[in-house]
Structure 1
């Protein structure tokens, strides 16, 4: 422990009721509460002469704190770092994909690649639910940027006719949960709406407590998508509502895990059990009267066939350089092009060239360059930069080197190729997918939205 006894030279004093131990590393007194009649907290009592001689040791579960050696067994049973029982919906590596893949050598020749694949089209929308928030004069640039993206994602959800009652929205990589929050606001008085927020890390400043609608239910799951089995979640197994998978800037590998979680793990499980959810009777916001009319006309079979366990997918893509061949859903597409793990490795790395902020003359690149690494990591909803930086004295114009514009173009082609593999995967699984630019690159460099509907539903438009 990088600390010492109270420094005699300091002019500061510990706050009343607080520990009197001076932490040299932090240049201040410990702020933990001391027990009545004690000068030191339990953490620092072992180093103080006036306390008893009981020995404190590092906790074997988490060396960031200590424990009395003679109370170790008792502490291990209640330590916050102990391994907790796994919930029923945790199934190890259920969405992991390939299990056996040859490791990629460190030094390989740069592979040939093709720009094969359909480009994304423009679909920048908005939604009235965010009108007041977007026009709030108190907003800073960052808040406005996020609101514009959320508004466009919400507008696309509505355009696909996924914004309605009797369904469950699963937000992957939920972070603070703001996307689900705005979906909830947009639904107004819609009945029987559930939200499942999936996030593998503890998140600060969540908006979970701001939901006020009586007809919606929110549940937050702290779990890695790789191990998530949606069909085991009590809320879904009980209500049997169609699922809408959503996400804002779902990093690289998380997108592939989420797609497999939805269209393989969950949809396949529901089909195997031949479940008949409530939404099978009421689909696409039809009333029971309309359903009865269709039944009288002999079309009840068609109504039943329109139900799908996964009603739709709307995910804003991000950080292709963080993809992983083992988890990638487009491996069959790559192999069909004569490509494999080695080529994917290079496409993955070069994809960051599209968003690494190399345009030194542009205002947005300048602001990204000055943003510290800690600030980037702290912003759990945005990943615009691709994790790459080119210094001002770069050799971009030297003989034998690619120019900035050439690298940007290659980076975009790499991203498109990776996304095209996801599109082909969804097509094979019975969906009608599409890629579209959902926001201006000045708002976010990661501005591609992946949408998908079951083949029996209305397909997304293919023109701006």
Structure 2
């Protein structure tokens, strides 16, 4: 800030000037900045720290999960490094027992999309750009395979950041009519790509709100247009995935007076759907014969990330954990142990960090991977040499799989066919698992009968 003519200090530090006859005081809304005392009332009306009116789609904690969660006793909140050999072995035994019957081998479903043909062959793009483009191309390939790219859709991108994923969906749809995009991001974002679409027919709208408080059935465009929703996300970090799933699945069924209550699971005709099964018929993929009044969510396509950031309070798979004899204490250990899947390999982690930096802007993905590597749980000395690097990596992957399977069962119980698969190679991104889900026509028809 530049001092005014004849002044020694700028306005922010004017109170230090002896000859200044105006007094500056800390702002009562944010003491990190000051204001002239005689202009306080005027400042309070425009201060950026003032409480702003909540948008109509803001419903406090609607996607939070449990209202009250009993905190884990301090004696049980211990670092993994402080566990004895017997305690660690007991945790691993519980993990393997709970994972028994869950296929640990995911299909390699690396796909692409025609919209990326030109950019993937453009030598002007560097390695960083290519890695992001390959991931985005595969995500769109899965959306196309599930027949989710079409008219009359509203694509809700959770953790949108700059909005690149929505940008490519719009590019793939080209002149498709009646397509809308909602970009959900709680932080202000620089270098947004939204402006490129203002002259197009597609409607882009940013919702600056935490997913925890987002109620989809109160968003004006969804209320007015009656569009089917497709939830998408690229590297949706930890707890944000659970908040997004609950936002998509329960926004259209949960009443305001029932916030945070767990809805009863829908009964399915068959419980034979497995996390590793991808045998959808064309009608199931396209959503034909599905009552629109029953479910307005046409599909979910989310690239998962950073399981060590999950939280028991918000986790959607609590019922699955309880069913296999596990609880909050075990979840607390497993979500931290999940970071073993992407650590112990410093060169690979460094590569992952560099690959997750958007060209021109810093992506939060890089920070998350970097934090995972620097966590005490990642240090080989922290578990006293009881496990090899490869053993830790396998256990970390098993922790991720168990957490993700809880999400799969949550979706299955609510009438969806849900699948986990590898959508890109681990050399492109260490976080290379994609969750996809589409409505299960059998359970829909049974519920509406």
TM-score over 0.5 for the alignment? yes
1:420 aligned onto 2:405? yes
Structure-2 separation of matches of 1:312 and 1:331: 22
Residue in structure 2 matching 1:173, options 156, 159, 164: 159
1:190 aligned onto 2:176? yes
Count the aligned residue pairs.
395
Q: CA deviation at 1:401?
A: 2.0
Root mean square deviation, CA, Å = 3.2
Residue in structure 2 matching 1:312, options 288, 296, 299: 299
Q: Which residue of 1 aligns with 2:125?
A: 139
Q: 3-state SS of the aligned residue for 1:165?
A: coil
Q: Which residue of 2 aligns with 1:442?
A: 427
Contact map agreement 2:420 2:435 (CA 8 A) in 1: yes
- Larger-gyration structure (1/2): 1
Q: Which residue of 2 aligns with 1:64?
A: 32
Aligned in 2, Cα 1:249/1:369: closer, same or farther, shift over 3 Å?
Answer: closer
What residue ranges of structure 2 are gaps of 5+ in the alignment? 77-86, 256-283, 444-449
What residue ranges of structure 1 are gaps of 5+ in the alignment? 1-17, 21-33, 270-282, 292-301, 459-464
After TM superposition, the runs of 4+ consecutive aligned structure 1 residues lying more than 6 A away are 36-39, 283-286, 369-373
Q: CA deviation at 1:60?
A: 2.1
Structure-2 separation of matches of 1:212 and 1:55: 46
1:161 aligned onto 2:147? yes
Q: Report Cα offsets for 1:205-224 as digits up to 9, x if no partner.
A: 11111125632101000000
Residue in structure 1 matching 2:324, options 337, 359, 368: 337
Q: Which residue of 1 aligns with 2:417?
A: 432
- Residues 195-344 of structure 1: matches in 2 within 5 Å? 195-211=181-197, 214-267=200-253, 302=289, 304=291, 308-344=295-331
Q: Which residue of 2 aligns with 1:84?
A: 52
Structure-1 separation of matches of 2:174 and 2:294: 24
1:113 aligned onto 2:82? no
Residue in structure 2 matching 1:45, options 1, 5, 14: 14
Q: Report Cα offsets for 1:167-190 as digits up to 9, x if no partner.
A: 100000001100000000000110
Question: TM-score, normalized by length of structure 1?
Answer: 0.78
Structure-2 separation of matches of 1:448 and 1:237: 33
Question: TM-score, normalized by length of structure 2?
Answer: 0.80
Q: CA deviation at 1:58?
A: 1.6
Residue in structure 2 matching 1:354, options 326, 330, 341: 341
1:380 aligned onto 2:364? yes
Contact map agreement 2:356 2:365 (CA 8 A) in 1: no
Q: Which residue of 1 aligns with 2:348?
A: 364
Contact map agreement 2:356 2:363 (CA 8 A) in 1: no
Contact map agreement 1:19 1:39 (CA 8 A) in 2: no
Aligned in 2, Cα 1:396/1:171: closer, same or farther, shift over 3 Å?
Answer: same
Contact map agreement 1:93 1:227 (CA 8 A) in 2: yes
Tell me which protein shows more helix as a share of its residues.
2
Structure-2 separation of matches of 1:385 and 1:341: 26
Q: CA deviation at 1:40?
A: 5.3
Aligned in 2, Cα 1:217/1:284: closer, same or farther, shift over 3 Å?
Answer: farther
Q: 3-state SS of the aligned residue for 1:121?
A: coil
Structure-1 separation of matches of 2:375 and 2:334: 19
Q: CA deviation at 1:121?
A: 1.5
Q: CA deviation at 1:135?
A: 2.4
